[in-house]
Amino acid sequence: MSTTSCNLVVAGRVDDPCFQAAQSHAEQLAHEQANVTVDVRPMFGTDWEVFVATKSRELGVEHTSSPLVFYNKHHYIGDVHDLATWAVKVYDFQRVLDTSNFEGDAHSHLHAMMDATGHTFCYLDVLATASPHASIDKDEEGKQSSPDHECKECKENAEEKNPGAPSASGSRHRVVIELYDDICPNTCDNFVLLCQENNDAQGYKGSSFHRVVEGGWVQGGDVVDGSGKHSVAAIDKSGRFPDETFAIKHDRAGVVSMASEGKPHTNGSQFFVTLAPLKWLDCKRVAFGRVVYGMDAFFAIEGMPRKNERPMGRCEITSCGIFTRKERLSIDA
């Protein structure tokens, strides 16, 4: 039995029963072994995807599933079952491990972690179906445009994209967005109103993602006809509202930001989701949230054939609303 000091790190998706099981197993081990400490790192899905890719490279292993367990900074163990095997071998620690017992805990911990942020969370159910026999317009290849600025970084971002991005053919996704309503309350209120059922106003339900800049962003929110020509605010009768703050930066994939008309104070209903860091948009567009689950939806749309930056197929928000405790991460749940 080892007497060497051991700092176990258990990292994973907070909504994953296997992560919750690994946390419990590691904490029980630490309770019995004075030389073992545990560092638990629960994460939302998008944060986890970034973390596991980076840490796997550091450890020199291929690991994608939640959780990831390692000790003393750079000693790889593996997943929850590898942790159980390792604990028996090193500490003769034998406990029954049943991950199914932690499904309820995973859901509770997810919502507790959301509550702890003090932020509002919304969901978008997205259907992405490419048209049969569609192909990318040859005239569009190499063209990198934006609302009013050239995006020279977008092509490089697209080339660095994970080749394992999901297929766009007939895929359904639940996207969960964290809103920074403590920083930009008006912008977030506008988004929430457009996500909710409202017979007196048009909303995001049934609207389309009408524009894709590969390596840049996916844009939607035309609640009139999906053409991309309209952007109607829900919080102002004029249909426009002013730029509230530029405090949130476009420093990662998954940032949710307002798509204005290219002039100050012309925000409406259109928004976009970044596919990579786009720092040149800082102080030009009002970012107000981030995707915490469901970035695969936007990578799927990015991978669809398109013409003049418009996806050739169906890219529709089929349902949306506030992500309450009754909501699940699965559309079919």
> 120-322: same fold as 6-108?
no
- Tens place of pLDDT per residue across the chain (333 aa): 667 899 999 999 999 999 999 999 999 999 999 999 999 999 999 999 999 999 999 999 999 999 999 999 999 999 999 999 999 999 999 988 888 889 999 999 999 999 999 999 999 999 999 877 555 554 444 344 455 444 555 655 555 554 334 444 478 999 999 999 999 999 999 999 999 976 456 899 999 999 999 999 999 999 999 999 999 999 998 999 999 999 999 999 999 999 999 899 999 999 999 999 999 999 999 999 999 999 999 999 999 999 999 999 999 999 999 999 999 998 864
In which residue are the tokens 């942790």 written?
83
**44 exposure class (CB count in 10 Å sphere: 0-12, 13-18, 19+):** buried
According to DSSP, the residues that pair with 69 across neighbouring strands are 10, 78
CATH of 120-322, one of 2.40.100.10, 3.40.30.10, 2.130.10.30, 2.40.160.50: 2.40.100.10
Residue 234, pLDDT score? 94
Domain assignments of the chain as residue spans, ordered by start: 6-108, 120-322
Residue 115, pLDDT score? 97
CATH superfamily of 6-108: Glutaredoxin (3.40.30.10)
The model carries a pTM of 0.89
CA atoms within 13 A on the CB side of 143: 14
- Tokens matching residue 220: 């939607």
